[in-house]
Amino acid sequence: MESHTHASLQVWKAYIQGQLPLEEEQRLEKMLLEDEESVQLYAEALSLLENEMPLMSEEELWLDELMSALPAVPEPSSDRAKELGKVAQWFAQPWLQYVIAASITLLLMTSGFFDALFSRANEAMHHSNDISVSDQLMDTATSWFDKMKK
């Protein structure tokens, strides 16, 4: 079993150094996701190769080079983006939000919405004294079960 571990370490070292074919790399990556022993061997191989790995002395330069190597993302149409930006900024103004809310409130008040709402609530409160809601629910449920039995 010791030779199997040693060979596996060699394979993992080759993987870390990028010396394996694509199919073998994919197989090893799948093993990393599925097998904990493979993860341990990978970590051991990585620690053995730690001294051989290049040092990251200028991380910011490396990151800048990496970011410049990425494909450029196309910017949205500038005219449309500016137009949407202006509209969004305009609607983000607190005073405009208050004006819209007040207008909707006035519209609902003049249409009688609140009167109808409060009169129905008042009726419900007066009728609830006659029969409790739980009794109504029980009657409805039992009648429903009686219909199912038939």
What is the domain partition of the chain in residue ranges? 2-54, 89-149
pLDDT score at 134: 80
Q: What are phi and psi of 112, to 5 degrees?
A: 85, 10
pTM, full prediction: 0.38
Q: Rank 76-80, 86-90, 103-107, 133-137 by mean pLDDT and report only the highest.
A: 103-107
What confidence tens digit (pLDDT) does each residue in 43-81 have? 999 888 888 877 777 788 878 888 888 887 766 566 666
Q: Identify the CA nearest to 8 among candidates 23, 22, 24.
A: 24
